[in-house]
Structure 1
Amino acid sequence: MYDHRPLALGVGLACAALAFSAPAAFSAEPRADALAEIGQFRDHAQWLDALAAIERARVQSPEDTLLYRLQVLTLSDIGNAYRAWQLYLARPDLFDTAQKERLEGNYLAKLVGWSLAFGPSEDTRLDEADAALVQMQQYLERDGTTVQQAPLRIRHDRLILLNRLGRHAQVRDEYRGLLAEGHPVPNYLLAAVGDSLMATQHPDEAIPVLEAALKADPSLPQARSELAYAYLEDEHADTAIALLKRWQADEPAWRWANGAKAPYPNWPRYEADLNLAMVRAYSGDLPTAQRDLEKMVEVGPGNTGTQSSLGNVYLMRGWPRRALERYSMANTLDPRDVPARLGQYDAYVQVQRDDLARPIHDTLLAAYPNQPSVQRMDRSWRAHRGWQWHAYAEGGRSSGGGGASPLGNDDGRYGVEVQSPVLDDRWRLVAFADRRSVDFQDESIDPLRIGVGTRYRYGRADAEAFIHRANDHIGETGLSAGFGWQFSDQWHAGITAARNDPEASMQARVSGITADSIALAADYRRDERTHWSLGASQFRYDDGNRRDTVTTAIEQRLMTRPTVFVDGLGSLYASRGSRDDVPYFNPSEDRSVEIGLRVDQQLWRHYERHFRHRLTVSVGQYWQQGYGSAIVPSAEYRHEWQLGEGRIFEYGIRWSRPVYDGQRERHIGLDAGLRWGE
């Protein structure tokens, strides 16, 4: 704190020294009395009285340098740092080094405070922060000092400015520099530092900083919310939920002012409720989050944050059109709300309306280039719109079935598919190469198929068309086309047709027989926990055989934890062939029923990167006409590495004991794949 006693002593000495040199208009005795009065007011921190006395004295002696200096310093003491700084700049030679540093520091601190105010528009909201940083840099240049040599007060205020401007990496580096020099930052800076550490994806560093901020001032709602998300990002979801529950319990929904006839809403309780719902959502408990947010919307439908948060939960549950309704409400309530517009962007991408997502993306990126959520949006946009690559390889071996397996003794497949960037918000050009090899008992086949085509995605419609040719010259040039329609957030149906279908039996192909196909499919996704599919297809082989197939499958979430999902699996299958005298596996009738369990666990995650492993086990009963039924077990184990936005590398091993024509086999397979893009 600034010590006023030396200045008071100076005022007293000045009374005697200047008594003999006072101007005629202001005699020595009244001047000495005025200075004594001013000194007394200042000694007792009566700044307004001191300033009034100075103003009266300056009327009599406007050129008095001591009074001028007292006026500037007193203005600074009462908080009018800007006016004090203006007067100081007019006559800087009147002030010593310590006083100059204090006046400059007060002025810069005032600029920092002004920069935190809500700006009149998105385009100008950071103008005051930019101007304050420029003033701070000019001050350092005038004194010939670097940031590291600047007074601690300047360095502290600089952290607030950099955080406000979204220059979070600089905040982190300068904060670390202060600690390395043995300068712990004051408590009032901890929330801003914690925010920047979170923005630079360092939750482990942010946690102790935010904990210290809350210990110093438990009433900071922003620090409490930020700490909960730091726990969540550091993979301590239970700790985050417990923190928010304690906060929720400590805050009543309504508060009463003394003498009031009605209560007023307690906004910290709203923050606790909202963040608890969202942390639950990010931890996988979407039904509870949805229920809590819908109750909040019923109470306060005009709240922008609640509407956009409910939209986020709807989007996470797989309902983008339903989410868009909430985002539109939030955007109407507050057109400048960033989360609502980010949600609109995500929803438009999911409903295949890039033409509507693009202007939102461009506007947000121009206005908020340093905001982490906007930067994530931009990364997802570039991954979605850019080149798409998929490379894959797999191989398997069958044994124990007498060499008659329709899969062959050894089978392999590898290939690559490349999609162009999105054209006209609807189209992608596609090229692919695919080689399949199968070794049967006496023969082998390994056609390389090369093809090109296009995919169309816009609104509710999706379509594709391809032309391809295999180098084994079996069959004609292949053609395929498909069309699908999204009836709602939950229902999708499609139809595909192919000539010389590459998915037809490889046993048939080795005998020179190809097939055309047609297929219908319907998908129902109630939410992220339930998925049901139904399909029917027919292969029309060159030899006159018709193979009809009907399948249905369901996946149902059985357990959800922050890092573990357990799904129950079930499927039914039935098919029939019109001929039984063909040189490939073609049962007159067969069917199967299968149930299984899939455990998906996240072992490591750091924002957009993660490592997961999955174990799937199942058992089914397969029946084939003329051969009876048999139990068929299977298992699969996989690893998934997400290396960044839209970059996934996965590999796995699978094992099964299928039965064909009454002969049980053992099949072991390996596969790996790399996806680059969306």
Structure 2
Amino acid sequence: MRTSACSFEVPFRVRVALAATLLALAGMASGAPQPAASELPAARDALLAQAQGQRDARDWPLALHSFRLGRERYPQDLAFQWGEIQTLADGGQSAEAVALAQQLLERRPDDPDTLLVMGYAQLRHAGVYASLEYVDRAMQHAGERPYVVREYLLALQRAHLADAALEIARQRPGLLSAQQQWELEADAAAENVRHAALPARGEAERFDAADRALARYDALLAQWRSAGNVPAALVQRVRIDRLQALHARSRMQELVDEYEALVAEGAEVPVYALGDVASAYLYLKQPQRAAALYRQLIAANYLRHEVSARQDQDFGLQYAYADQGEFEAARQSAHAVAAQQPPWRTLEGDKEATPNPAYLDARHMAAMMDFYAGDTPGAQRALERLVAAAPTRSHLRVDLATVYAARGWPRKGEIELKIAEAHDPRDVGLETAQGQVALDLQEWRQARELSADTLARYPENQRAQRLARQWRAHDSAELQLALSKGLGNDNPIAGGRDLGAEATLYSRPLAENWRLLAGLGQRRGNFSDGRAQHNFVRAGLEWRSRDWTVLGELAENHFSHGGRTGGGIGVNYQIDDAWSLQAGAQRLARDTPLQALRNNITSDRLDLGVRWRQSERRQWSFSASPSNFSDGNRRRSLLLSGQERLVTRPNWYLDAGVEIYATRNRRNDVAYYSPLSERSLLPSLRWNHTLRQDSARAWTQFAGIGLGGLTQQGYGGSALGVLSYGQRYRINDLFEVGGTLSAISRSYDGRREREWRIAFDLNQRF
């Protein structure tokens, strides 16, 4: 924050001639040798004026010569000594100035003018606080003198105590010029902004300082606009300083609007304000503009010597790259910054090396950029090393838990967060991470309480806002739609021009763990012996708790031979982060072949499954699904599927997959497709590409290809091929939609069929 560049006004210019005369008279009274009467006071005044003029012209050698000549001629005249001290300080010889002033103070320790001169010398030599010490002493001895009070006000202002100075100035109107008064008011408002940027003592007071600063700025600007005579440059400076108050209050859109208004007016916004503007653009999800400003700060070398400012700029630029989807640029920047930091540092006067906090922060940032770029194993290893090196740094454990959760290990993340809780239990990053893990684990009450707490305490925090959106999405009603349409198909399972549509509506959670559901759907297809159609209506209840999801339902089914009531139950049990079990049973199974239903044949089905998921890069599942048909047929189906990550890049990845399927039927002399034995092997590749993504929105495309074979008893072997392409779009946590076009080539009873199919699904929460 810029403040006014104040220096001692030289009351001595106004008082110097008078002081010289008074001191000369004092010298005569004391009996000291005096020059001739003809030299009083004109010669002395002329010499003082000459010396002061040379000082004003910044001709330090000539000014020193003149002041020293005056000291020699008039040794009792302190005006020449004061002038010499000031000139030495101005000319870069502040140590000599302080030494000379100290000699005067030893003889006149309580003289306010000598104290002011020492304050002037100390300002150049040791800074504003050393200067304030002597000006304060002068104020104590001569606080009734206006020029002493004025110098005291200016000293307070230079020491960033403008509020105190302004209070005194208001008690002594007319002491300062109008320009000085305006600048003092601007500096006092700027002090409030600095206080707003400091950590608050209590959570309830987090924005109080920023609110006070903004109220003060608004009142000051309104007053100046009403006055109409305040310099435009000063008004502009106050508007620029106000940007920091808007940032401290997290009023980011107002900050950006004001910045853009200033730029449109032709104002040159100084570099000290650009960091807050860049941060606001980043907060508002405008990373391109944020990146441009961060690069400008870095190119200007602004505060690069300060560790915290340098980190703000470097890390801000890396986040801006990541938010644009330029993950490789973010990674390269982060690792380059980390490489510049040594792990150890030696403090002055300390022989022992100590850990370098900047190294830890830079390595932490590099690990997170790896994570955003999709290198989850690399990010995990890096964070685990950092946690081992600095186990009490809770934010490291929080981010490690985030990586664990992203890899599908919420229980492992929960353990890390519990350890971090021992060090900083009320940290907003910790609590929001705990809330997100609680959602993953279906710990609904914990998630609700954590979301409410973090949003109440930190309403401007984006992590708290994100958790609140996720909680609102969970705590909403949900509509699921699915549509599948065959394009010119004529296979014996789905039929020609087949259509499948289903809609399911879930209620909002009841008593946290329960949801009501209601749904309806239709399947239809054309077969050689006519059209088949299945309509159904379903209603049920779902219970979700930690590790368990149970769904029970009743369904009314209508097909060619009237209506029948069925139902089912499904259970999923998550043993740990890797293993889960699934079981289900259906009476009048909804996936009974349409041709069977057309011929008044129904089926009951049992599903048993197990899944092992090492991480997002590797998983296998196995399921067994025996079905009993009402015509006496018994079908037994087995499916083994696996997925392995082959390539990961920041915006896309490639997975290899395989499906091994086998089925047996007791009868094949039935009215629907029922091979006595069929086996298939389908290796595949699936490519997934992120077109656009931010914290809530994602647009992806995907494509797959599979080429394998199948064998059917009585018909031998044949090739099996699958091609697919689709896109998914998620607007926010409440709405997601996707569509897929696929082509399948395979044989049924020795006859090859080529199928085209389009599938569409939608999920809306409200």
TM-score, normalised to structure 1, is: 0.92
Give the letter for the 2:365 counterpart.
Answer: N
Q: Secondary structure at the match of 1:68?
A: helix
Counterpart mapping for 1:510-659 below 5 A: 510-659=598-747
State the distance in 2 between where 1:435 and 1:131 align: 63
- One-letter amino acid matched to 1:7: E
Return the alpha-carbon distance in structure 2 between the equivalents of residues 276 and 450 of structure 1.
53
Q: Is the 2:321–2:330 Cα contact (8 Å) retained in structure 1? A: yes
Helix, strand or coil for the counterpart of 1:134?
A: helix
Per the TM alignment, residue 49 of structure 1 is displaced from its structure 2 partner at its CA by: 7.7
Number of residue pairs aligned between Structure 1 and Structure 2: 667
User: 5+ residue gaps in structure 1?
Assistant: 21-28
One-letter code aligned to 1:448: N
Cα distance in 2 for partners of 1:50, 1:576 equals 96
Instruction: Check if 1:406 corresponds to 2:493.
Output: yes
Distance 1:48 1:193 in 2: 31
Instruction: Name the CA shift for 1:111/1:433 in 2 (closer, same or farther; >3 Å).
Output: same
The structure with the largest alpha-carbon Rg is 2
- Alignment partner of 2:495: what SS? coil
* 2:569 is the counterpart of 1:485: no
CA gap 1:4/1:233 in 2 versus in 1, 3 angstroms: closer
Residues 649, 675 of structure 1: 8 Å contact kept: yes
Counterpart contact for 2:119–2:133, Cα < 8 Å: no
Q: In structure 2, what is the Cα distance between the partners aligned to 1:60 and 1:572?
A: 97
Cα-to-partner distance string for 1:550-570 (whole Å, 9 max, x where unaligned): 111001111111111101010
Deviates more, 1:637-646 or 1:663-672: 637-646
Could you tell me which residue of structure 1 aligns to residue 179 of structure 2? 98
Q: 1:617 to 1:119 in 2, by over 3 A?
A: same
| Cross-structure match for 1:26 | none
Deviation at 1:379, TM superposition (A): 1.5
2:748 counterpart residue number:
660
Where relative contact order (Cα < 8 A, 6+ residues apart) is larger, the structure is 1
Amino acid at match of 1:288: G
**Which amino acid in 2 is paired with 1:206?**
A
- 2:492 aligned partner, one-letter code: S
Q: 1:42 to 1:297 in 2, by over 3 A?
A: closer
Q: Take 2:266 and 2:216, find their aligned partners in 1: how far apart are those partners?
A: 27
1:260-409 map, 5 Å: 260-397=350-487, 405-409=492-496
- Determine the structure 1 residue equivalent to 2:154: 73
Q: Counterpart of 1:426?
A: 513
Between the aligned partners of 1:90 and 1:624, the Cα distance in structure 2 is: 102
Out of 458-467 and 368-377, give the one that drifted further: 368-377
> Which runs of 5 or more structure 2 residues have no equivalent in the other structure?
22-75, 83-110
Q: CA offsets per residue over residues 161-215 of structure 1, 9 Å max, x none?
A: 2212211111211221222222232222222221111100000000011112223
After TM superposition, the score normalised by the length of structure 2 is 0.82
The aligned residue for residue 526 of structure 2 is: 439
CA shift, 1:263, in A, is 0.9
Percent identity reads 27
> CA separation of 1:62/1:481 partners in 2, compared to 1, >3 Å: closer, same or farther?
same
Report deviation, 1:398.
Answer: 5.2
| Match status 1:178 vs 2:265 | no
Q: Give the superposition deviation at 1:336.
A: 3.1
Judge conservation of contact 1:31–1:57 (CA < 8 Å) in 2. Answer: no
* Counterpart Cα distance in 1 of 2:263 and 2:467: 33
Partners of 2:685 and 2:570 in 1: CA distance: 32
Cα distance in 1 for partners of 2:183, 2:116 equals 19
Q: Secondary structure at the match of 1:477?
A: strand
Per-residue CA deviations over 1:40-87 (Å, capped at 9, x if unaligned) read 556654666875665566566544333333321222123332321221
1:497 corresponds in structure 2 to 585
Higher helix share: 2
Task: Please point out which of 270, 273, 278 is paired with 1:189.
Answer: 273
In the aligned structure 2, how far is the partner of 1:55 from the partner of 1:227?
45
Q: 1:426 to 1:154 in 2, by over 3 A?
A: same
- Asked if 1 retains the 8 angstrom alpha-carbon contact of 2:706 and 2:722, the reply is yes
Distance 1:367 1:185 in 2: 33
Amino acid in the other structure paired with 2:425:
P
Instruction: Please say which of residues 600-609 and 11-20 is displaced more in the overlay.
Output: 11-20
RMSD, matched Cα:
2.7
Q: Pick closer, same or farther for the CA change 1:516–1:95 going to 2, 3 Å.
A: same
Q: Is the 8 A contact 1:474 1:512 kept in 2?
A: no
Amino acid at match of 2:474: H
- 1:151 matched to 2:238? The reply is no
1:58, 1:67 within 8 Å by CA — same for their partners in 2? yes
Structure 1 counterpart of 2:46: none
**After the TM superposition, which of the residue ranges 505-514 and 181-190 deviates more from structure 2?**
181-190
* Paired AA for residue 200 in structure 2: G
Q: Which residue of 1 aligns with 2:87?
A: none
2:6/2:154 contact within 8 Å kept = no
Deviation at 1:620, TM superposition (A): 2.0
Q: Does 1:451 align with 2:532?
A: no
| CA positional deviation for 1:358 | 0.9
